[in-house]
Structure 1
Amino acid sequence: MATSLSSVQKGSDFVKDYCCDACESKQIVETAETYCETCLKCFCGNCIKHHDQLYANHSIYERGDMSKWPLTKKMDSFIQTCAAHTDKKLEMFCEDHSQLCCSNCAFIKHRY
């Protein structure tokens, strides 16, 4: 699965880009330029050349088709984390405020 270039900072609303999975396995941080739907991996410009030599019929998506790329685990976690309580996951929906909240927020701000 695709991995994020860096971790999400506490309180940050910015998630960095994708890393090449092949480079990352060698402890190298390189930005991914393509995603292979068949392999379920992201590749940088150099690694995709090698990939394409071996797997010419795989479904490849470039940055212009990023809507077809999967969310990274870190991005998925970031989306599901409460902004006020970064150690809590969003678990509830407050209909009065039309807002997702964690159990702490629900008890403190959304109990009325």
Structure 2
Amino acid sequence: MTQFDVYPFIVLNLAFSLQAAYAAPMNLLAQTRQSGSDKAHAEADALHREYLARASDERLALAAHQTTMLVDLVRQNTKLTETIKALTERVETLTTEVHKQVIASASTP
């Protein structure tokens, strides 16, 4: 009786060698493709981060500009309120003087 594929398992070794021979290039190709995909994702992420940073800077600049405008408007509002107060006091003073004049001329025969 003859034994098939005796020590050191020549046919099994040949089968594994054959499988390794076609699997290794496939693995290399898959790694290369994955590397390209990873590189594309990294570039897209970098562009997205740059866009977010630029958008954040623009929002900060806009917020600073709007804050400056609001401070200016508050100053103008304060100045107008002070002017209105002064004019109101002046109108009250003139009204009192006119009232005194009218009373004085009405009581003089």
Is TM-score (shorter-chain normalized) higher than 0.5?
no
- TM-score between the two structures when normalised by the length of structure 1: 0.22
Larger radius of gyration: 2
More relative contact order, 1 or 2 (CA 8 Å, 6+ apart): 1
Larger strand fraction of residues: 1
